[in-house]
Amino acid sequence: MSGKILIIDTDKSFVKGLKYSLEQDGYLIDISTSGKDAIEKVENKIYELVLIELEIPDMNGLTICQNIRNLSQVPIIFLSEINDDIKKILALEYGADDYLVKPFNILELKARIKAILRRVNNKNNDQANTLIETKDFSINTLGRKVISEDRNINLTGKEFDLLYVLASNPGKVFSREELLEKVWGYAYYGDLRTVDVHIRRIREKIERDPKEAEYILTKWGVGYYFREK
């Protein structure tokens, strides 16, 4: 089997077609029609991926995403009819990995799912069991933790991967496209601001002053890099 996926959506016709299509690729599918039920499922079961509609009657999709992030690092993709840049950015800020607007090409969704699952499955091989240390925090790739003065800095899975790519290549400038390819694992079809959103969130968590970054620096017009020792 390719993995277990939770679909959170109340559109029975859409869910039926999506479930059938994903099952053809060997995925096991669970369905939830409420935020409360979805959160309970994530808390009690193991999923490789979660697909969320933004508009759920009992709970906003962003709130569901936030609650799931408090429980799990499972990758999350929003599937929504709302084609709004602010909503997309908010979804990413709440911890989502991707946002796809309905109606979409099912082949595009499948490509994104495969890329995300491939990244997750390969991350332990890609990240050597080493310790990257700075004066303010350390990055433990074995436990996938960032620790500052014995305090665990809570990063999402994507934030950790992005920080690791930069920190393990100090001084090397990565374009947004390169970071999308390395961290998301595929040629991204959407907005390059995905990287900017995640960089800002990481800075807020690891930098003493996010507005005057010491570690993740910007090369204007090019991209981002991690400060050399």
* Model confidence pLDDT, tens digit, residues 18-47: 999 999 999 999 999 999 999 999 988 889
Within 8 A by CB and 6+ apart from 204, the residues are 210
Interatomic CA distance for residues 228 and 224, integer angstroms: 13
The backbone region for 95, taken as left when phi is positive above 0, alpha when psi lies in -120 to 50, beta otherwise, is left
pLDDT at 213: 93
Identify the three-state secondary structure at position 54.
Answer: coil
Architecture of domain 3-123: 3-Layer(aba) Sandwich (3.40)
Identify the three-state secondary structure at position 153.
Answer: strand
Q: Provide the pairing of β-strand 76-80 with 49-52.
A: parallel
At residue 88, φ and ψ (nearest 5 deg) are -60, -45
15, pLDDT greater than 60: yes
Give the mean pLDDT of 152-161.
Answer: 85
Block residue for tokens 């995925």 = 27
How many angstroms separate the Cα of 168 from the Cα of each of 131, 140, 193?
10, 12, 22
pLDDT at 129: 53
Are 34 and 59 spatial neighbours (Cβ–Cβ below 8 Å)?
yes
Q: What is the CATH number that goes with domain 127-226?
A: 1.10.10.10
User: Where is pLDDT greater, at 219 or 150?
Assistant: 219
Pseudo-torsion of CA 136, 141, 144, 145, nearest 10°? -20
Residue 3, number of CB atoms within 10 A of its CB: 19
**Per-residue model confidence as pLDDT tens digits over 207-222:** 989 999 999 999 998 9
User: Where is pLDDT greater, at 179 or 143?
Assistant: 179
Give the mean pLDDT of 46-65.
Answer: 92
The domain spans of the chain are 3-123, 127-226
pTM, 2 dp: 0.66
Block residue for tokens 């400060």 = 227
205, pLDDT greater than 50: yes
1 confidence band (pLDDT: 50, 70, 90): very low
User: Where is pLDDT greater, at 104 or 190?
Assistant: 104
Q: What is the share, in percent, of the chain residues with pLDDT greater than 90?
A: 48
Interatomic CA distance for residues 124 and 160, integer angstroms: 12
Alpha helices in the chain (DSSP H): 12-23, 35-44, 61-69, 85-93, 106-126, 157-167, 176-179, 193-206
